[in-house]
Amino acid sequence: MAYTTVDDGSEYFQTALYTGNQNASVAVVNDGNSDLQPDWVWGKNRDSDSNHWVVDSSRGVTKTLFPDLTSAEETQGSVNAFNTDGFTLGDWIGSTKTNEAYVAWQWKANGGTTTDFSASGNQLAGGFQANTTAGFSIIDYTSAGNSGKTIQHGLNSAPTFVLIKNRTDASSWAVFHAKAQTSGAIRGKLNETDAFGSNTGIWNNTVPDSSNITLGNNDDVNSLSSGDVDPYICYAFHDVQGYSKFGSYTGNNNANGAFVYTGFKPAWLMVKRATDAARAWVIHDNTQDTFNVTANRLDANTSEENQSSGHFDFLSNGFKCRSTEGATNAASAYLYMAFAEHPFVSSKGVPTTAR
């Protein structure tokens, strides 16, 4: 059996850097080895304090949510179109302020083509667009206000990382991470620094399975009132050998820090201190930082501009902590979410090299 089915991570994930030019319909073109038409774009101004923003092909390009906020979805000209190898910006100042530097992280699902599922028994009504090769699905659904409801995700394995946001009400971004869960009761909040904690009302004390994600009776994932039918969006992932990994590690509070094996050279990494302290959701990528040690840090939970923090070495088969900062390498447990530039070993047995 081949080591991986994904020889080129840029088929399914890419990072693009661009300069804003409001009212100019800037075309952002990817430069990876493969063309990538994104289905989920997560952007951030790197020069100024400005909210993170996300759009996707299930909700539509103008429907914008903000990972660092609890606020409802807004209709903005953040993106005008998803293109065959990138996207075209609209005129919203949050995504294209003139002469400001931006980063855009992009994932490919199923080109906007969804499979609908109807309300039946415990199942809510909605639809998914799943990329089973990349282990990524975008699910939209409407709530019902009762615990134990499920949504289909369309993947061929149980999700190991899930994000959910209520589109019309102020609510937190609910996070499931397989390495944090205890009987399905552990949840995080992407928009906050809070440690992961117990809340059976989020996931109904049930971990996702190969077909469904189970929801509790909580406004963050499923409206409390049976008469209050709200729309939600869900982004679900599972590990794909050589391409993505949603794991954990223990820090050592030393600049010669912990080494974490992922099985690939990382292109994007988000790290969160798990359960013992409130710390940021720290993000690094291989496009802002082309050499080790990674220094251009953005935090998913805050609008702050790029910070300079030397946190990690990106290696051919994982990453190594290079800081004693509590957000990434105290003597504590951490969760991580990572996507590949290249697998450690290709499907033809060819190893990748460190940078």
Q: Which residues, in sequence order, are bridge partners of residue 261?
A: 318
Residue 35 exposure: Cα atoms within 13 Å on the Cβ side: 7
Pairing of strands 101-107, 281-285: unpaired
Closest alpha carbon to 109 in 163, 56, 42: 56
Instruction: Please give the full DSSP string across 42-58, using - where no structure is assigned.
Output: EEEESSS----EEEETT
- What's the distance, Cα to Cα, between the start and end of the chain in Å? 27
Give the pLDDT of residue 7: 86
Give the pLDDT of residue 1: 43
In total, the chain counts a number of residues equal to 355
Which residue do the tokens 């996207």 mark?
87
Distance (Å, rounded) from C-alpha 189 to C-alpha 162? 11
Which residue do the tokens 């990876």 mark?
32
pLDDT digits (tens, 9 = 90+) for 87-97: 999 999 999 99
Contact assessment for residue 334 and residue 271, using Cβ atoms and an 8 Å cutoff: yes
Distance (Å, rounded) from C-alpha 289 to C-alpha 293? 8
Q: CA separation (Å) from 215 to 141, 148, 227, 247?
A: 12, 6, 17, 22
pLDDT digits (tens, 9 = 90+) for 32-76: 999 999 999 999 999 999 999 999 999 999 999 999 999 999 999
**What DSSP character marks residue 179?**
T
Task: Give domain limits for the chain.
Answer: 9-107, 115-237, 244-343
Give the pLDDT of residue 99: 96
Closest alpha carbon to 157 in 70, 272, 244, 96: 244
Calculate mean pLDDT across residues 152-180. 96
Helices H / strands E in the chain, number of each: 2, 28
pLDDT digits (tens, 9 = 90+) for 115-146: 999 999 999 999 999 999 999 999 999 997 77
pLDDT digits (tens, 9 = 90+) for 168-217: 999 999 999 999 876 556 889 999 999 998 876 788 888 999 999 999 88
pTM summary value: 0.95
Residue 11 exposure: Cα atoms within 13 Å on the Cβ side: 16
Contact assessment for residue 253 and residue 178, using Cβ atoms and an 8 Å cutoff: no
Pairing of strands 136-142, 126-131: antiparallel
pLDDT digits (tens, 9 = 90+) for 254-297: 999 999 999 999 999 999 999 888 999 999 999 999 999 998 99
Q: CB-based contacts of 240: which residues, under 8 Å, 6+ apart? A: 4, 5, 6, 133, 134, 135
pLDDT digits (tens, 9 = 90+) for 293-334: 998 999 999 999 878 777 899 999 999 999 999 999 999 999
Amino acid at 6: V
Which residue do the tokens 């906050």 mark?
192
Q: Residue 354 — pLDDT band, cuts 50, 70, 90?
A: low
Burial of 1 (0-12, 13-18, 19+ CB in 10 A): exposed
Which residue do the tokens 């061929």 mark?
156
Calculate mean pLDDT across residues 23-30. 94
Residue 86 is inside which H or E element, if any?
strand 86-89
